[in-house]
Amino acid sequence: MVSDGAATSDVVEFLADLRALRAEAGAPSYTALARGSGLPRSTLHDALTGARLPSREVTLGLVRACGGDPDAWQRRWTAVRTDLDEPTPTPPAAPPPPPSHRLRVAVVAAALVVAAALAGGWALWHDGDCTGTRVYRVDEAGAVLDGDEHPIGRVSAGDTVRVRSLAHDRFPHRYRGTVDASGTTGYLDEAKLTFVRTTC
């Protein structure tokens, strides 16, 4: 992309030297400079008071009007203009710095915390799943009843029953459970059961 000649260090120096050339020539008026260069006074004024590189034509007109060396100034103008026109190379992006030891430790610690939280959550869920699953041994044979108190099966002494909740949802003194030997699920007299263990 071509620069519009806005001030850079080279442009600033070029303009300062152009003003110094005018001062060395006795600081001729803009009217005198216009007569000597054939350029409008306003154009010359803008060139000497602005902050942009003047055109080649304006630069050489001023140099001639001030008695300077047009060839030397043309070479200098061309060099400055070339520098302005060449795009500034963009330096390659620096690779991201390697993570510091402290950062690695923090990442590992965070991963351990997450793993512990997940394990703890699983344990809580798992334990929660086991809380109401209690195994009882049948001490005395009896009937397994449905919700209407009709017999739907029998248990023998020594059978085991799995009870998921101790709440008496239908009958006082009866637990709802599943007989391991037959797979029958119904209500059993809690007085005839002995707690063995909690299991999942």
Three-state secondary structure readout of 42-80: HHHHHHHHCCCCCCHHHHHHHHHHCCCCHHHHHHHHHHH
Please report which confidence band the pLDDT of residue 126 belongs to, taking 50, 70 and 90 as the band edges: very low
Tell me the whole-structure pTM to 2 decimals. 0.43
Q: Which CATH class is domain 9-85?
A: mainly alpha
Write out the residue limits of the CATH 1.10.260 domain(s) in the chain.
Answer: 9-85
> For residue 63, what pLDDT is reported?
95
Question: 134-198: which CATH topology?
Answer: SH3 type barrels. (2.30.30)
Per-residue pLDDT at 122 exceeds 50: no
Beta bridge mates, 160: 137
> For residue 21, what pLDDT is reported?
94
Please report which confidence band the pLDDT of residue 129 belongs to, taking 50, 70 and 90 as the band edges: very low
Q: Do the Cβ atoms of 77 and 11 come closer than 8 Å?
A: no
> For residue 118, what pLDDT is reported?
62
> For residue 167, what pLDDT is reported?
78
From the CB of residue 168, how many other CB atoms can be counted at a distance below 10 Å? 13
DSSP 190: G
Handedness of CA 166, 170, 173, 179 (dihedral sign): negative
Q: Do the Cβ atoms of 11 and 5 come closer than 8 Å?
A: yes
More confident of the two residues 65 and 110: 65
More confident of the two residues 172 and 99: 172
> For residue 133, what pLDDT is reported?
87
Per-residue pLDDT at 176 exceeds 60: yes
For 158-180, what is the mean pLDDT? 87
Please report which confidence band the pLDDT of residue 115 belongs to, taking 50, 70 and 90 as the band edges: low
* CA-based max dimension of the chain: 131
Q: Do the Cβ atoms of 188 and 177 come closer than 8 Å?
A: yes
Can you tell me the distance from the alpha carbon of 45 to that of 30, in angstroms, rounded to the nearest whole number? 7
No. of helices (H) and no. of strands (E), the chain? 6, 7
Length of the chain: 200
Per-residue pLDDT at 138 exceeds 90: yes
Can you tell me the distance from the alpha carbon of 73 to that of 50, in angstroms, rounded to the nearest whole number? 18
> For residue 120, what pLDDT is reported?
55
Token duo for residue 52:
């942009």
Instruction: Give the closest residue to 137 by CA, choosing from 165, 163, 173.
Output: 163
Per-residue pLDDT reduced to its tens digit, 36-59: 999 999 999 999 998 899 999 999
Can you tell me the distance from the alpha carbon of 174 to that of 18, in angstroms, rounded to the nearest whole number? 110
Per-residue pLDDT at 61 exceeds 80: yes
> For residue 154, what pLDDT is reported?
93
Q: Do the Cβ atoms of 48 and 62 come closer than 8 Å?
A: yes
Per-residue pLDDT at 95 exceeds 80: no
